[in-house]
Amino acid sequence: MTAPDSPANLSRVPCTVVTGFLGAGKTTLVRHLLENAGGKRIAIIVNEFGDIGIDGEILKG
């Protein structure tokens, strides 16, 4: 018998990492995915390296 939290009983969660240079279209891609989620639940983690959080503010809505 396996424990309830053993790896055999955990389901995998799909994860996509979006990276790229400044101006490459990362935020545009993420906004498109959010607007066309089709009922899917999506979580976003934004990691910004600046004093001003531009992308985080854009994606908050």
Residue 5 located in a structural domain:
no
Can you list the pairs that 28-36 forms with residues at least 24 positions away whose Cβ atoms lie under 8 Å?
30/59, 31/58, 31/59, 34/59
Q: Is residue 7 part of a domain?
A: no
Residue 35 belongs to a domain: yes
Residue 24 lies in a domain: yes
Tell me whether residue 10 is in a domain.
Answer: no
Tell which wins on pLDDT, 2 or 39.
39
pLDDT value at residue 52: 65
pTM higher than 0.75 for the full model?
Answer: no
What residues have CB less than 8 Å from 5, skipping those under 6 apart? none
Residue 45 lies in a domain: yes
Note the pLDDT tens digit of each residue in 6-57: 766 678 889 999 999 888 998 899 999 999 999 999 998 887 776 666 666 6
Number of domains in the chain: 1
Domain with 21, as residue range(s), is 17-59
Residue 8 in any domain: the answer is no
